[in-house]
Amino acid sequence: MIFILVFLLCGAWVRPARGAEKYVFQVPMVEGLSVGGLASAFEAFMQIMSKKTGLQVDCQYYPFIKGSRPGRRILNKMKKGDIHFTYLYANEYLLMKDEVDAVMTPLFTIEMLKKNQTGVCALVRADAPYKSMAGTKGARWGGSETMRSRFLLHNDGVDQTLASFYKNMKYIDDGNIMVPLDELIDDKIDVYVTYALLYYMIANNNPKYKKEVKPLACADYEHNWIFFARNDVPPEVAKQVRATMVGAYKDPDYAKYRFLFKAIQGRFSPFDPKELNVTEKTVKLIKKHGWLEEETAFLKKHIKYE
C-alpha cells in the first residue's frame, strides 16, 4: 500500500515553471520501508505530469514507528508551516477534529476494495475451532495494535481489556504482515487482527496464507485515509491538486500505471464528510471504553513511543 501511495503522490506534481512557489506534500510511512528502488519509476511518472502542471510540489517522506500514531506530530508540522499537504488516518482526524480543522482542510480520499471504508479482520488458523470473537477467550493474541481487536470483540458483545480476555499478549512488529501470519501458522499465536485489504491482497497472491489462515470476523472500522491541504494553500492550487489525483485513474496519460489502482481495486476520490459515520461510531467507542489509553500502555512497553 505504501508503494502505491508513494508512487502516485510523489509523481503527481513535477518540474515547476520557473519561479513557481514550492509546496511540500508529506507522505507518512511506517519506518523501515524503503522507497529508493522507485526512483526511476518516479522519474517516468514525472515526465508525464510535467505536461500537465506548473506546480512545484516536493515529496517528503515522514517515517513513523508502527503503532505510534503520527497524527499529532503531523498536525504540529502543519501548524509550523513545514508542510502543505499530507494525509491522516480517519480515527486520528476525528480524535483531534477541532484542532485539525483550524489548520487544514480535507481534499480527497482513496478507495480500496471499491469502497471508502477500511475494514479490519481477525485472523486465525484455518483449522482453529473458534466460531466467534467471543469464543477466542483464553487464546494467545499477537499484534502491534490493540484497538482493532477491542472493536471486533465489542461487536461480539465483549468489552474486556485484551489482557484480561486473552491468555497472553505478544507484541509483533507487523510492518511486514507475513511475520504475524507465519506466527499463526506456526502455532505461536492464535488470533491476529489486521486490515482486511492487507490480508486479502497477500492471500490472493500467496496460496499458503489463503489455505492455512482464515478470517474469523471482519467489519468496517474507519474511513480510508483522508488527504488534507493546509488552510493557507491558495484555493486554486488545492483544487488543481485534488483534480489531478481524483482524475488519475481514468486519465489516458496514466494508462501504463492503472495496474496500481487495479491492485487495490481503488482510486483517489472526492472526500465526503457524510461518509465519516462509521468512524464517528468507532471514535465514540474508543473514548467510552478507554481503548486509546489501553493501546498506548501496551505499546510503551515495546516501542519508543512519541
Question: Taking residues 240-262, what's their average pLDDT?
Answer: 77
Provide the β-strand partners of residue 217: 122
Q: Are residues 41 and 157 in the same domain?
A: no
Provide the β-strand partners of residue 108: 227, 270
% of the chain with per-residue pLDDT over 90: 57
Best-predicted range by mean pLDDT among 36-40, 86-90, 187-191? 187-191
Provide the β-strand partners of residue 110: 268
Q: Are residues 265 and 194 in the same domain?
A: no
258 vs 48: which has the higher pLDDT = 258
- Asked, for residue 276, whether it belongs to a domain, the answer is no
Q: Are residues 266 and 169 in the same domain?
A: no
Lowest-confidence pick of 23-27, 96-100, 110-114: 23-27
Cα 216 to Cα 208: distance, rounded to the nearest angstrom: 17
- Asked, for residue 205, whether it belongs to a domain, the answer is yes
Q: Are residues 195 and 289 in the same domain?
A: yes
pLDDT tens profile 119-167: 999 999 999 999 999 999 999 999 999 999 999 999 999 999 999 999 9
- Asked, for residue 81, whether it belongs to a domain, the answer is yes
Write down the residue that cell numbers 490493540 correspond to: 146
Q: Look over the chain and give the mean of its residue pLDDT values, rounded to a whole number.
A: 86
Question: Taking residues 285-289, what's their average pLDDT?
Answer: 97
Are the CB atoms for 197 and 130 separated by under 8 Å? no
Provide the β-strand partners of residue 6: none
Q: Are residues 58 and 204 in the same domain?
A: no
Q: Are residues 123 and 260 in the same domain?
A: no
Q: What is the pLDDT of residue 8?
A: 59
Residue 255 dihedral angles phi and psi, to the nearest 5°: -55, -40
Are the CB atoms for 126 and 210 separated by under 8 Å? no
Cα 280 to Cα 194: distance, rounded to the nearest angstrom: 20
Domain count, the chain: 2
Q: Are residues 144 and 198 in the same domain?
A: yes
* Three cell numbers, residue 248: 488519475
- Asked, for residue 215, whether it belongs to a domain, the answer is yes
Q: Are residues 214 and 235 in the same domain?
A: no
- Asked, for residue 305, whether it belongs to a domain, the answer is no
CA distances from 305 to 40, 65, 97, 214, 301 (A): 34, 8, 22, 32, 9
Helices (H), the chain: 2-10, 39-49, 71-80, 90-95, 97-101, 147-155, 162-165, 178-185, 196-205, 207-212, 235-247, 258-264, 277-289, 291-300
- Asked, for residue 154, whether it belongs to a domain, the answer is yes
- Asked, for residue 159, whether it belongs to a domain, the answer is yes
Lowest-confidence pick of 22-26, 171-175, 286-290: 22-26
Position 32 confidence tier, pLDDT thresholds 50, 70, 90 = low
Instruction: Read off the CATH number of the domain in which 288 is found.
Output: 3.40.190.10
Q: Are residues 152 and 264 in the same domain?
A: no
Are the CB atoms for 122 and 191 separated by under 8 Å? yes
Helix (H) or strand (E) holding 219: strand 213-223
- Asked, for residue 125, whether it belongs to a domain, the answer is yes
Q: Are residues 160 and 231 in the same domain?
A: no
* Three cell numbers, residue 212: 492455512
By residue range, what is the domain housing residue 145?
117-222+281-300
Provide the β-strand partners of residue 29: 63
Q: Are residues 178 and 124 in the same domain?
A: yes
Cα 239 to Cα 254: distance, rounded to the nearest angstrom: 20
Q: Are residues 70 and 26 in the same domain?
A: yes
